[in-house]
A and B are shown apart, each in its own frame.
Chain A
Amino acid sequence: MNQFIQQLINGLSLGSIYALIALGYTMVYGVLRFINFAHGDVFMVGAYTGYYAARWINGRFNTEPSIPFAILVLTISMVVCAIVGIVIERLAYAPLRNRARLTVLITAIGVSLFLEYGGQQFFGAGPENFPQLMPNYAVLNTPAFTIMSNQLIVLGVTVALLIGLTFVVLKTKIGTAMRALSFNPTAASLMGINNSVVISFTFGLGSALAAAAGILWAVNYPSINPLMGLLPGVKAFVAAVLGGIGNIPGAALGGLILGVTETLVVGYSDKLHIPPSYRDAVAFVVLIVILLFKPSGLLGKTGSEKV
């Protein structure tokens, strides 16, 4: 039981990072009906931006690890990645707006490879050690389980960003426009919504969340490399499908479920007779099961296909 609580805490912390990435997939899918394969690599760019920003600030002002310092790095990284996301959309996806979906998918794979291997070129192929942004200590240390401050911060930042996102989507004008666009793009543009502005905004928002996930990931697992986005990206996609792609609360729920499942499988690997190195296969098994039995996801709506 004690181990279970510990695994649950670890799983929630991992799952909330998946949830943040999954939100980007789901929002882009909502407005454009396509899977942004490069999203996981924006997450990587976020981690690297944080790495360089932290090093630069440290070099200039010789800061100690502290909460304001962490928030500053987080903000810089989110802003930079929002711009990166918008630029990717403008250059690579916007010219393909009315083309076959396969064309866009292949382009997205191309963008993803470009970010990964371009990253190897510019950041260096080897892993970098992410600097400490804030002090990490045990908040609650019982014999049964330990809660680290980093884990709490991951959860806290995720919840804060989720609340912010919900506010943007439900209460602001641009959020209403996003929902209108995902409902019916033609009707939305007839009602005076500038579709391309809304799409850019969606990409920017999703990429900023991915950047936040990148920083949180790097705080917990400080070794970063240019290919680090591949697996979390695909797993977050699985989380988005699990929750029902296009559905924002679903993506958050899917991320948490996936994170907890993965951690539990690894934690109980000896009892389940599964080697812990199978952890990366967990997400794919979940994906295949969900696609077979409930392709619309946990919270997704089923719609009939139009001919």
Chain B
Amino acid sequence: MKGSASKLYLAIAAAVSFAISYWVPMDQYVREIVLTIGINIILAVSLNLVNGYAGQFSLGHAGFMAIGAYFSAAVTTFWAPKWFGASTDITSGFTAPLVFLFALLSGALLAAVAGLIIGIPSLRLRGDYLAIATLGFGEIIRVVIQNTDAIGGSRGFTVMSGYTNFFWTYLFAALTIYVVANLVHSAYGRGFLAVRDDEVAAEAVGVNTTKYKVIAFVLAAFFAGIAGGLYAHFKQYLHPDGFSFLKSIEVVVMVILGGMGSTAGVIAAAVFLSLLPEVLRFIPQFYERSFGIPLPHLIDELLKNRMLIYSVLLIALMLTRPQGIFGGLKRPAFLSGKKTRAAHVIPS
């Protein structure tokens, strides 16, 4: 995307999501799914910056999300009522969007600071070690939250306001895509790909690999924090178990399925994997209606085991197409003009 075209894209995305959130009616069920998709897009696209473009394997994304979620929820639940008068609900009044935005950004900033703290030691680690270290950091964040009584600890945290709506979710999803796509396709951002493709060679030609890795971590953590804030004000209930290692794995599966280093692929995978549980829920009903007999019990049980399906998906994908479903695909000529971008491909 060229500069002016991409700004236009951002404006259009904002306008469209604003229009949809005001004029398209959605029932509770559809809203739930649509917002989940948006939040997952933010998570997956931001993680793709670290895992896909910069080639560092992070397994701690849920930790950053948890920081953003808890901090922004604390802002709107505990502090905002004190600062903005007696109203305990920020969902009313014209200050509401500002308070919400402030809460989101402060949670995201705290997550970014955590990303910085985690990024600096992790520079010394590579591959498998980095994966375990980030997993460890993510779990430490979770254990700390679990033992902090002020934010509910292991009882969970009830968030007062449910301010997240279609507009905010997709505004930030568009912003995440905009930032990540523009960054990695800028002259500056080529450094990420250089770090991924050959760290030693990158360093030899003068790329500051340390700086790029930290930037990737901090930016990814920032957007994960945003996603966490949106999640907190959408579900209105937070529990430390919801931010365990499995949540990170879920996001990692989206990135891998979409193809590491392909933003479009990762978005598609985020949409697909968010819809998958809903589709799986309908299969037994659909089967019974069309064949007149209930689905065999074992298959029914297997369909409910979402993580089992993810695991089979992961193994099968790695054995057959390790670059991901969309990774390494070139854009159709009519979309990309003359230039084709081959830099998305991860050598396997």
Residue ranges of A at the interface with B (Cβ–Cβ < 8 Å): 34-35, 92, 95-96, 99-107, 109-114, 116-118, 120-121, 230, 234, 237-238, 241, 275, 277-278, 280-281, 283-285, 287-288, 291-292, 295, 305, 307
User: How far, in angstroms, from A101 to B131 measured CA to CA in the complex?
Assistant: 12
The binding surface of chain B is classed by DSSP as helix
A110 and B124 within 8 A (CB): no
Q: Which of A109, A120, A287, A291 contacts B249 (CB 8 A)?
A: A109
In B94-140, which residues have CB < 8 Å from any A CB?
Answer: 121, 124-125, 127-129, 131-133, 135-137, 139-140
B131 and A121 within 8 A (CB): no
A35 and B132 within 8 A (CB): yes
Residues on B with beta carbons closer than 8 Å to the beta carbon of A102: 57, 127
In B294-329, which residues have CB < 8 Å from any A CB?
Answer: 301-302, 305, 307-308, 310-315, 318-319, 322
B315 and A111 within 8 A (CB): yes
B146 at the interface (CB under 8 A from A): yes
**How far in angstroms is the closest Cβ of chain B from A119?**
10
User: How far, in angstroms, from A281 to B256 measured CA to CA in the complex?
Assistant: 28
B133 and A287 within 8 A (CB): yes
A99 and B137 within 8 A (CB): no
User: How far, in angstroms, from A102 to B259 measured CA to CA in the complex?
Assistant: 13
A295 and B124 within 8 A (CB): yes
The binding surface of chain A is classed by DSSP as helix
A95 and B319 within 8 A (CB): yes
Interface residues on B, range: 35 or more
User: How far, in angstroms, from A117 to B133 measured CA to CA in the complex?
Assistant: 24
A113 and B121 within 8 A (CB): no
Q: Which of B143, B310, B348 contacts A281 (CB 8 A)?
A: B143
Residues on B with beta carbons closer than 8 Å to the beta carbon of A280: 139, 143
B305 and A120 within 8 A (CB): yes
B347 at the interface (CB under 8 A from A): yes
A277 and B133 within 8 A (CB): no
B147 and A305 within 8 A (CB): no
Given A101-B127, A121-B308, A280-B139, verify A96-B318 contact (CB < 8 Å): yes
B200 at the interface (CB under 8 A from A): yes
List 25 A-B residue pairs with CB atoms under 8 Å apart, sorted by A's residue number: A92-B319, A99-B348, A100-B322, A100-B348, A101-B127, A102-B57, A103-B348, A106-B252, A110-B312, A111-B311, A113-B307, A113-B311, A114-B311, A114-B312, A114-B315, A120-B308, A238-B132, A278-B143, A284-B136, A284-B140, A288-B136, A291-B129, A291-B133, A295-B125, A305-B200
